Amino acid sequence: MSCHIDLTLFAQHARNCEYIPKRFAAAGVRIREPKTTRLIVSNGNCVVMGAKSVDDSRLAARKHVRIVKKVGYTPRFDGFQVCNICRQCGRRCRKSPAQNGDRKHGIVRQKDFVPLDGFTLRYIRFASYYPETFAGCVYKMMRPNLRLLIFPNGKIVFTGAN
């Protein structure tokens, strides 16, 4: 958008808007369809998060511009671009006895999870795993330029795609 916005005034008049300047310098606005959240900064820059596709993201951005117009500002919808795409998937791992309903053995076996130590040693140039700092292994792909967060329970998060 290309207009300056008083976030305090905007938060008072817009619906589903949250603005706490001591915590964060942007106002968060939520809409239901498509289910997205938008962070708007006082200079008019915006970030739309939570869309399932690029088309949903564009539609949500247009709806958010209409919300700003209803409050009384004159924004223009220009400069839309996708900066980051994040996806998640899961690898099937065997369930532990506690998850299978065996209450007698409530311990979780080590072989039920992805061995991230061995994975990191095998791909040492691209993977880093420090379980004391972060529970997942960060795998850096070169082409395409992606970051994979691989967790011991089999979940994988792809981030950094444009």
- Residue 76 in any domain: the answer is no
Contacts of 51 (CB under 8 A, 6+ apart): 34, 36, 57, 60
161/67: higher pLDDT: 67
* pLDDT value of residue 145: 86
- 57, 19: one domain: yes
For residue 30, what are the domain limits? Answer: 7-71
Q: How many domains does the structure of the chain reveal?
A: 2
Each residue of 71-81: pLDDT tens digit?
888 888 787 88
The CA-atom distances, in angstroms, between 135 and each of 35, 114, 129, 131, 156 are 29, 12, 8, 5, 12
- 63, 90: one domain: no
- 153, 92: one domain: yes
- 89, 146: one domain: yes
- 54, 92: one domain: no
Q: Are 147 and 138 in contact (CB under 8 A)?
A: yes
Each residue of 79-91: pLDDT tens digit?
788 888 887 887 6
- 151, 117: one domain: yes
Nearest to 136 by CA among 108, 158, 160: 158
- 105, 138: one domain: yes
Confidence of residue 1 (pLDDT cuts 50, 70, 90): low
* pLDDT value of residue 94: 55
pTM over 0.85: no
* pLDDT value of residue 23: 93
Indicate which CATH number applies to the domain containing 16: 3.30.310.10
- 61, 103: one domain: no
Cα torsion angle, 98, 101, 104, 105, sign: negative
- Averaged confidence pLDDT in the chain: 83
Cα–Cα distance, 121 to 90 (Å, whole number):
22
Each residue of 46-62: pLDDT tens digit?
889 988 888 999 999 88
